Structure 1
Amino acid sequence: MSTVERRGFLRAAAAALAASPWLAHGAEAPPGQAPAPHDMSHLPASWTGQEQIGMLLYPGMTALDFVGPQHMFAGLMGATVHQVAKTLAPVESDTQLVFSPTVTLDQCPRDLDILFVPGGGAGTVAAMQDAQTLAFLAERGSRAKLVSSVCTGSLLLGAAGLLRGYQATTHWATHALLADVGATPVHARVVHDRNRITGAGVSAGLDLGLAIVAMLRDTAYAQTMQLLAEYAPEPPFNAGTPHTAPPAVTAMVSDMFKDFTPQVRAALAQAQGTRPAVDR
């Protein structure tokens, strides 16, 4: 389902919800008359906004880190979602999925309602070593109403100086690195501290996206998006955290990160010497 189709479906659902008795702020339809599917007069005024959302793209990022939140943000009626990259050239993810930027770093609106950063592996380390990317994040992040990330995207926020003094989360295998950027690590699916909201590993992007939708609209709107996505996870295995996965599996995955930690710390050391100060 395309973004246009999804928004149209959401409008139809919203009109029905607005007339339902359990949605207290919805307008009531006349007796015996159903609301028109696309009649915007039946929508609560709070269900349409004008948010400017900037979502960073960079080579080697993890595709699902980006796609989960983007799916939710794209369903925000009235919002504009900018897919931001250094150039307008296609950006390839760590699994060779290709994304199309819509604006460059320079073209991205200065005052964003949401700045979002996905994570990854080697691509994230490279982004942490890119002065232009860090300068963009530091400048836009200092002005954004909400600064967010999924997975190791929090480490990229940290490299830009945006998590010092904040509670945050990231992929379970890199939690210790949050202290290196001055953040307080919290083991949770989504962590919200003032205007910072961070998600855990990869699939947590869906949870983060829904949480932000509820913040910007309301619970009923977010529930509509959840139902539209049929987001009712029933994983075939209970191995989604190191506490539930078999020890051998946890050990194997942990071993995959043994080179990542020193690479991140080296990139952070470089970033700390070059980035501008961030006041927020």
Structure 2
Amino acid sequence: MPSRPLRIVVLLFPRVTQLDFTGPAQVFSKFPDTELHLAWHSLDPIPTDAGWCIVPTTTLDECPQADIIFVPGGAGAFDMFDDPKALAFLRDQAQEARWITSVCTGSFTLAAAGLLTGYRATSHWASLQMLEEFGVHPISERVVRDRNRITGAGVTSGIDFAFTLAAELFGEDEARSIQLAIEYDPKPPFDHGSPGKADPEEVKSIITATENLRKAAVRRSASALASTQASA
């Protein structure tokens, strides 16, 4: 039987953080013999947090089986708690996927689908500790691998996540070649890109505001997941 291309399936959704997707996607585009499928309920353009849209390439019903399932983050990731079809899609895809992955708060969507229970995972720092509600072990690192789960932290860490995945799939030499091709050599003008480098009171304020906004929904979804798992 002839081999087929590697399939990466991305679950998109309204209010996705575009760089969570487009950063890794630029690296994915350099993967050898790889297809990228952007899945959603319909093929209508999906509004991102940047004010412009991404067009899906397939629907949840018609999407092929993934080798790698990838969920970016954004405010819309929490809306997936109330989307049983999208969560079921992830669970179904995960049964045969080689890797189950996310960036930023996409880990909360995976967690709501029951795909991170008992795993180490990361997310955006302002939301990270809330992963505990789903029985996930939150780890404050830029990229976290636990068995066949790979999760990236906030937004720009998606590029590091994609290189980690590239090395797992094709080896470090291929990952290094892609890094050179896209000139990924970050030297930020400000050394203020993580909570450990910021004012502690500012960090605390952002975490509190984030938890006030999201924690009730996280707990509700975690409770629903626990009930489902108990009855399974």
Q: Does the 8 Å contact 1:159/1:272 carry over to 2?
A: no
**Take 1:269 and 1:247, find their aligned partners in 2: how far apart are those partners?**
31
Number of residue equivalences: 229
Q: Does the 8 Å contact 2:37/2:63 carry over to 1?
A: yes
What SS class does the counterpart of residue 173 from structure 2 fall into? helix
What SS class does the counterpart of residue 143 from structure 1 fall into? coil
What SS class does the counterpart of residue 196 from structure 2 fall into? coil
The CA deviation at 1:275 is 7.9
Specify the alignment match of 1:220 in structure 2.
Answer: 173
Q: Does the 8 Å contact 1:68/1:203 carry over to 2?
A: yes
**Take 2:230 and 2:134, find their aligned partners in 1: how far apart are those partners?**
14
**Take 2:69 and 2:117, find their aligned partners in 1: how far apart are those partners?**
17
What SS class does the counterpart of residue 243 from structure 1 fall into? helix
Q: Does 1:120 align with 2:78?
A: no
Specify the alignment match of 1:64 in structure 2.
Answer: 19
2:96 to 118, 135, 143: 143
The CA deviation at 1:125 is 1.6
Q: Does 1:101 align with 2:43?
A: no
The CA deviation at 1:60 is 0.8
Specify the alignment match of 1:90 in structure 2.
Answer: 45
Specify the alignment match of 1:28 in structure 2.
Answer: none
**Take 1:272 and 1:79, find their aligned partners in 2: how far apart are those partners?**
36
Structure of greater Rg: 1
Q: Does the 8 Å contact 1:161/1:277 carry over to 2?
A: no
Q: TM-score, normalization: structure 2?
A: 0.92
Farther-moved stretch of structure 1 (144-153 vs 91-100): 91-100
1:178 to 119, 123, 131: 131
**Structure 1 residues 275 and 66: alpha-carbon distance in aligned structure 2, compared to 1, 3 A threshold:** farther
Q: Does the 8 Å contact 2:127/2:207 carry over to 1?
A: no
Percent identity (aligned): 40
**Structure 1 residues 132 and 76: alpha-carbon distance in aligned structure 2, compared to 1, 3 A threshold:** same
Specify the alignment match of 2:217 in structure 1.
Answer: 263
Q: Does the 8 Å contact 1:128/1:268 carry over to 2?
A: no
**Structure 1 residues 95 and 106: alpha-carbon distance in aligned structure 2, compared to 1, 3 A threshold:** same
Structural RMSD (CA): 2.1
What SS class does the counterpart of residue 197 from structure 2 fall into? coil
The CA deviation at 1:184 is 1.2
The CA deviation at 1:249 is 3.1
The CA deviation at 1:129 is 1.0
**Structure 1 residues 165 and 248: alpha-carbon distance in aligned structure 2, compared to 1, 3 A threshold:** closer
**Take 1:194 and 1:128, find their aligned partners in 2: how far apart are those partners?**
25
What SS class does the counterpart of residue 94 from structure 2 fall into? helix
2:200 to 247, 257, 260: 247
**Take 1:276 and 1:70, find their aligned partners in 2: how far apart are those partners?**
37
**Take 2:17 and 2:227, find their aligned partners in 1: how far apart are those partners?**
27
